[in-house]
Amino acid sequence: MTPKPEPEPDQDVGAAVADAHRREWAYVLAATARVARDIDLAEECVQDAYVAALDAWSRQGVPRNPAAWLTTTARRRALDRLRRDRTLRSKLPLLIEPEPETGPGAEAEEPVAADDDVIADDRLRLVFTCCHPALAREAQVALTLRLVCGLATAEIAQAFLVSEPTMAARVTRAKKKISAARIPYRVPAAAELPDRLDAVLTVVHLLYTTGHTAPAGPDLVRADLVERALGLARMLRDLMPDEPEVRGLLALLLLSDARRATRAGADGRLLLLEEQDREQWDRAAIAEGAGLVTEALRGGRPGRFTLQAAIAAVHAEAPSYAETDWPQLLRLYEELLKAWPTPVVALNRIVPLAMTAGPDSALAEIERIERDGRLVGYRYLPAAKADLLRRLGRWDDAAAQYRIALDLTDNAAERAFLAGRLDEAAARAAGGD
Amino acid sequence: MTEYLILIYERESGYAEGGQEAWEASGKAHARFAEQVGEKGGKMLGGNALQPTATATSIRDDVVTDGPFAETKEALGGYYLIEARDLDHALDIAKLCPAPYGGVEVRPVMDVSAYMG
């Protein structure tokens, strides 16, 4: 499904279609779903429209407004299919409120041509439907990639390291639930918006982190997922410009991604923040991200994405690791812990705590987090503990923690880093210095 | 409008330990809920409380055994059948359903008319 358009002899047209696929898929699908009132039918018609574009654009040239061309074509196909097979509509209804001029049985009069220039933007409805809390997180992620980004099932399966049939079943199950349980196709009301928006932002953030640190395999960064997450964050910012947390998320992704080129050495080894070449950080992305943080911090209590972005901005704007504003970071982590009290945030607070209060205090705090028990099996806990023990010169204890961390880590770049540290700690322990 | 079944799962011990008071409080809360369904724009189609799982009898492959089909910490203790516009509306209503010793599950009712000819 969702075939990426095959490259045609005319490279420009192929590129234009690929570009429209990347940029306009969500818009075209959402606008088509309004007519098709069925996600599966809308998807098929949009795929057909992209295939048709390759041929038509080669002959007639790339239209001035590719999204409008694709939407009109996909909507026409949907109407044709509905006329041919009226039962389709009752089989898999998508809860779309009828457009004012369209009563039951009036699809034949659907003014496809008339509203080419004013097609309602339904992308937000699509996003909120894909990220509905009645769907499991993994289904939300899969549906978002499939319906909002237009990725093929095989591509999504590859990104999440599951087999294609498994991913296909996941997508089908989720679509069935949308239809059978009648998950509505709408942007939630103001009262529910904060919770529902948080789910959407969490899905986009999860896509980013999955791409940023692939859980297994040789590449530390899976660039396509990172690009998709950034694209979604930008789309959400355009569609909901007044939501501070939407700005916060985009800022967080930009600021983290600004360091992408420096996260691993030429040999693929993971580089720590203190080892990274700050000259190579993407200054434009940092400036954009920092500007968004400033805007998001204005007015009201900042949410977790804004606070995480503020933390990333402090790191990104520090001239060197040593000159990082650690007291400011500690304050931000304490606010973040209040907004989002999770053991992972408590663990991340260890770094500025160690820098301001010393490794002894940080070690006491990490042991408290350890006793809490919620981070059992979380690879970054023994890794962080090992680092503190290393700095305290407790090489035996450090080596033991590096071994635990190594057992919990599948990512090749992270494993190489931990193995290097383990060798060093073991040698120092044996050498007795 | 779609029909949804609200299944109430609770620890039976909650009521056993709460005694008469727990039952009375529950009776009032459920009477209130029955009113709230209409106030929320939904429709109450029916509902019942069930006798505890100690009274259940299960049949599998014609073998009759004492007890519920599956032993769970929180057992099905009652249900409501409601009508709502969509899942969000149904969840909005189901959030009001009393279940102090557990929670509720919301299931859409299948429209079997397509399979009945």
A318-327 pLDDT, tens per residue?
999 999 999 9
Fill in the amino acid letter for A240.
M
Put simply, the answer to whether A183 touches B87 (Cβ < 8 Å) is yes
* Alpha-carbon gap, residue A406 to A209, rounded angstroms: 20
Residue A176 sits at the chain B interface (C-beta within 8 Å): no
Distances (CA, A) of B117 to A22, B112, B113: 44, 9, 7
Put simply, whether B105 touches A (Cβ < 8 Å) is no
Note the pLDDT tens digit of each residue in A240-275. Answer: 998 999 999 999 999 999 998 888 877 777 788 889
Nearest CA in chain A to B114: A91
DSSP B43-65: EEEEEEE---GGG-EEEETTEEE
Over the stretch A37-59, which tens digit does the pLDDT of each residue have? 888 899 999 999 999 999 999 99
Q: Does B111 touch chain A if contact means CB atoms closer than 8 Å?
A: no
Alpha carbon of A199 to those of A120, A193, A345, A379, A404: distances in Å?
A: 24, 10, 18, 25, 32
Phi-psi region of A189 (alpha: psi -120 to 50; beta: other; left: phi over 0): beta
Chain A partners within 8 Å of B106 (Cβ): 181
Amino acid identity, residue B55?
A: T
The answer to whether residue A184 scores a pLDDT higher than 80 is: yes
Chain A residues lying within 8 Å of B86, measured CB to CB: 95, 182-184
**Beta pairing partners, B83:** B3, B43
Tell how far CA A259 is from the center of its chain.
17
Which whole-number Å values give the CA distances from B100 to A50, B9, B30, B33, B81, in the listed order?
53, 10, 11, 13, 19
Query: DSSP readout, A91-131?
Result: HS----PPPTT--TT-GGG--TTTTGGG----HHHHHHHHT
ipTM computed for the complex: 0.85
Give the start-to-end residue ranges of the domains of chain A.
11-99, 124-264+278-356+371-378, 379-433
Q: Which of A177, A179, A182, A192 to mutate to test the interface with B (most CBs of B within 10 A)?
A: A182
Residue type, A251: A
Nearest to B87 among A91, A182, A192 (CB): A182
- Token digits of residue A22: 């990347």
Half-sphere exposure of residue B60, counting CA atoms within 13 Å on the CB side?
7
Q: For the packed helices A223-239 and A11-36, what is the interaxial angle rounded to 10 degrees?
A: 50
User: Which of A181, A188, A192 is closest, CB to CB, to B108?
Assistant: A181
φ, ψ dihedrals at A61, nearest 5°: 90, 160
B87 close to A (CB below 8 A): yes
Contact B91 A188 (CB under 8 A): no
Q: pTM for the whole thing?
A: 0.82
Cβ of B88 within 8 Å of Cβ of A180? The answer is no
pLDDT of residue A83: 86
CB atoms within 10 A of CB A204: 27
Owner of token pair 């980004």: A149
- Which residues in chain A have Cβ-Cβ distances shorter than 8 Å to B82? none
Confidence of residue A381 (pLDDT cuts 50, 70, 90): very high
Asked if A184's CB is within 8 angstroms of B88's CB, the reply is yes
Distance from CA of A35 to the nearest CA of B (A): 19
What share of chain A has pLDDT > 90, as a percent?
A: 65
Q: Which residues of chain B does A183 touch, with a Cβ-Cβ cutoff of 8 Å?
A: 86-88
**Domains of chain B by range and CATH?**
2-115 (3.30.70.1060)
Is residue B66 classed exposed, middle or buried when 0-12, 13-18 and 19+ CB atoms within 10 A define those classes?
A: exposed
Report whether A317 contacts A272 (CB < 8 A): no
Q: Is B2 on the interface with A (CB under 8 A)?
A: yes
Q: How far is CA A387 from CA A395, A401, B86, in A?
A: 10, 9, 52
The token pair that represents A292 in the structure block: 């968004």
pLDDT-based confidence at residue A414 (cuts at 50, 70, 90):
confident
Q: At what angle do helices A304-317 and A283-297 cross, to 10 degrees?
A: 140
CB contact under 8 A, B87 and A180: no
Amino acid identity of residue B3, one-letter, is: E
Q: Which CATH class is domain A11-99?
A: mainly alpha
pLDDT of the residue at A320:
94
Amino acid (1-letter code) at residue A288: E
How does residue B112 score in pLDDT terms, banded at 50, 70 and 90? confident
pLDDT score recorded for residue A62: 94
